[in-house]
Structure 1
Amino acid sequence: MGALSKEYGFLVLTGNASFIMVMYLAYNVSKARKKCAVDYPKMYSDDSEDRNMFNCIQRAHQNMLELYPAFLFFLLIGGIQHPRVASALGLTWIVSGEIYAYGYYMGNPRKRTRGSFGFLPLLSLIGLSVSFAVKHLGWKHCC
């Protein structure tokens, strides 16, 4: 296969952008934690007045963290063969994550579905990683 292409740098930048997004969501949780007086180590608020707001902000961040390791894996592996495509898919996933979080922040978890289009780029990244594996293994007649 040889060395990584010069364009693989796009993936590194996309990975960095995704980390900034996740840290920004963590910052929002920290601000909401302070505003709603939810002390560590509590993950969620039991106070009925602030519970909905804080818990929605916390869940938005938690949902992103649940997918984040898989996203990074598929981004970096799938991008070996198609770095520009993978980077564009990764940026789309990042944008969808922000839209998802802000929908969730509205206090109505159903509004998070505005960002659910992020599953399409994630599934596409999975496809790119499988394509890379098949090519790397030399399975020409497989798929």
Structure 2
Amino acid sequence: MVTFTITPEYGYTLAVSIASSVLLTVLGHRVGAYRKIANVPLPSAYADAAEAKVDKKKHLFNCYQRVHQNTLEGYSSFLSTLLIAGLRYPIAAPVLGMIWIAGRIFYSIGYTSGEPNKRIMGAWGHIGDVGLLGLTGKMAWDLVMSA
């Protein structure tokens, strides 16, 4: 049988999970605020593509919405690997989590500039994703091999 002891350092992992929730909240609020500026009514998730081509505000709204949506698309795997890896790696996991968060911030800044290709300036944040996946995979391997 394998047991895990939650050390006080796991608090760093929990703090990063809270910071990631704050990031999602901020991104969501930015979408809501820009929805009003661009006059995109609910329940439309995005402004019409034809309108966004001629209306800079609608184009920017789509950029804000896409950043938030893209972040949500990877959030469950980020959070699960962060919380699992943090059990065994209570320092490395939150460091990788902060790299992911910082990458998402730079991704957001680039994307919401109105030039979506500038999102690439946050691509290095995937180091956090890949690192957390690797740590979680290592834990899985160790557990299976100890069976």
TM band (smaller chain): over 0.9
Q: String of CA shifts for 1:102-121, please: whole Å, max 9, x gaps.
A: 10001111000000111111
Partner of 1:32: 34
Q: CA RMSD in A?
A: 1.3
- On the 8 A contact 2:5/2:87 being kept in 1, the answer is no
**Equivalence map 1:1-143=2 (5 Å):** 1-46=3-48, 47=51, 48-49=54-55, 50-139=57-146
Amino acid at match of 2:61: F
Under a length normalisation based on structure 2, what TM-score does the superposition of the two structures give?
0.91
Unaligned 5+ runs, structure 1 = none
How far apart, CA to CA, are the structure 2 residues paired with 1:27 and 1:73?
24
Give the AA of the match of 1:136.
L
Counterpart residue identity of residue 85, structure 1 = A
> How far apart in 2 are the matches of 1:127 and 1:111?
28
1:78 Cα shift? 1.2
Q: What fraction of aligned residue pairs are identical, expressed as a percent?
A: 35
Displacement after TM superposition at 1:139 (Å): 4.5
> How far apart are the structure 2 equivalents of 1:123 and 1:82?
15
For structure 2, the residue ranges without an aligned partner over 5 or more in a row are: none
Task: State how far apart, in whole Å, the 2-side matches of 1:127 and 1:2 are.
Answer: 19
Cα distance, 1:79 vs. partner? 1.3
Q: CA deviation at 1:80?
A: 1.2
State TM-score, norm by structure 1.
Answer: 0.93
**Residue 83 of structure 1 aligns to a residue in which SS?**
coil
Q: How many residues align?
A: 140
Tell me the amino acid that sits aligned with residue 11 of structure 2. G
For residue 39 of structure 1, report the CA deviation from its aligned partner: 1.0
- Separation in 1 of the partners of 2:143 and 2:79? 20
Q: Counterparts of 1:80 and 1:2 in 2: how far apart (Å)?
A: 7
Instruction: Tell me if the contact between 2:4 and 2:87 (Cα under 8 Å) persists in the aligned partners.
Output: no
